[in-house]
Amino acid sequence: MKRVNNFEFTGNCTTDAKIITCNNGKQKATFSVAVNYYSKNKEGKDESVVEYYNVETWKTTAFDLIKKGASVIVKGFRKGCLFNEKPYFIIVSNDIEAFVPDPKE
């Protein structure tokens, strides 16, 4: 069955990647991405809203892309767990690309 828990978003890294080496020698990077969008407030005016996503990736070739302020496209799926008895979600990325804006936009 094709995975239905897919996420893809574009945003800016809020920190450099934190590289973690596991007991088996594999490495993963954890980082946060800020995504901005516009929403109407109670008065009907557009206001900027920021959402933050915690991301982890095992794709070592993407580690160099994950720098504070870098624009990235993150593709992956959401994984949840309980932390201090509260739900906590992380995006597990299977692909990260540098975002290059279209100069026509």
The tens digit of pLDDT for each residue in 56-70 reads: 999 999 999 999 999
C-alpha distances in Å from residue 50, one per residue of 1, 2, 5, 32: 33, 30, 22, 12
Place 22 in a pLDDT band, splitting at 50, 70 and 90: very high
Instruction: Give pTM, 2 decimals.
Output: 0.81
Give the residue carrying structure tokens 């973690």: 20
The domain that holds 28 is classified in CATH as 2.40.50.140
Classified as helix, coil or strand, 63 is helix
- pLDDT at site 1: 45
36 belongs to a structural domain:
yes
105 belongs to a structural domain:
no
- Mean local confidence (pLDDT), 73-79: 93
Angle (CA) 58 96 8, round 5°: 110
Domain span at residue 93 reads: 7-98
Q: How many domains, the chain?
A: 1
Of 68, 58, 66, 63, nearest to 93 by C-alpha is 58
Q: Which residues pair with 35 in a beta bridge?
A: 51
